[in-house]
Amino acid sequence: MGSSSDARRSRAWLAAWVVAVFGLSALTDLRTLGIACAAAALIFWRGSWRAVRKVLLSVLPITLGLSLASWAWLRFGLKTGPSVQPFLALGLRAALIAFVTFSVLARVNLLRALAPWPSLVRLLCLALAQIHALRLLATESLLGLRSRMPRKPGAIDLVRGAGGITGALFGLATRNARDISDAMRSRGF
């Protein structure tokens, strides 16, 4: 009972989020975006710092960097006089959508919400498990390569090191994926 109402609540959050992000992606006016930011901060006040941190680390550097570089190129390279407002709006819109996304996803159980689509859940589980496994294996291989070399490995060293180990790692990853897939199928997915 509890888990089905949880799943319903998660799906309702996801539906509201999809509508909200499409709505936010249509905003261009700085004042409207400011009001939307204030509303989002009020709605997602609890746990907002974590979402803000994620936005600051993963979204804003790219958006701001791109906007600044493009503005500077237009201003100094092409000698035009671009207005700052659309660039600010672009950065704010991207940051706001990301903030809403991170805040909503912190409040839903994605796998539970996707339960009516078992193939999707199975593929998602496989991909997530493999992403963690491959990242771990890649980090371990890099650390192993570093420990075997007297200097910092260059690009050629990385390619040489990767050549020997990647095949074996990929074989292992696929066997892991097959085990997970078989286990999930035996549980009705």
**Contact footprint for other proteins (CB under 8 A):** 17-18, 21-22, 24-26, 28, 54-55, 58-59, 62-63, 66, 69-71, 73-74, 82-83, 86-87, 89-90, 93-98, 101-102, 105, 110, 119-120, 122-124, 126-131, 133-135, 138, 163, 166-167, 170-171, 173-174, 177-178, 180-181, 185
Question: Cβ of residue 146: shortest distance to other proteins, in angstroms?
Answer: 16
Give 150 or 160: the residue with its C-beta nearer to other proteins.
160
Question: Cβ of residue 26: shortest distance to other proteins, in angstroms?
Answer: 5
Residue pair 86/28 in contact (Cβ under 8 Å)? The answer is yes
Q: How far is it, in rounded angstroms, from Cα 93 to Cα 42?
A: 17
Question: Cβ of residue 93: shortest distance to other proteins, in angstroms?
Answer: 4
The torsion of the CA quartet 137, 138, 139, 141, rounded to 10 degrees, works out to 80
Give 26 or 42: the residue with its C-beta nearer to other proteins.
26
Q: How far is it, in rounded angstroms, from Cα 53 to Cα 170?
A: 34
H-type helices in the chain, by residue range? Answer: 2-24, 30-43, 48-54, 60-72, 85-105, 110-113, 118-148, 155-186
Give 22 or 45: the residue with its C-beta nearer to other proteins.
22
Give 43 or 120: the residue with its C-beta nearer to other proteins.
120
Structure tokens at 159: 């390619």
Give 119 or 150: the residue with its C-beta nearer to other proteins.
119
Give 45 or 73: the residue with its C-beta nearer to other proteins.
73
Question: Cβ of residue 56: shortest distance to other proteins, in angstroms?
Answer: 10
Question: Cβ of residue 137: shortest distance to other proteins, in angstroms?
Answer: 9
DSSP state of 150: S
Cβ count near 50 (within 10 Å):
11
Q: How far is it, in rounded angstroms, from Cα 87 to Cα 37?
A: 17
Question: Cβ of residue 156: shortest distance to other proteins, in angstroms?
Answer: 12
Residues in the chain, overall count: 189
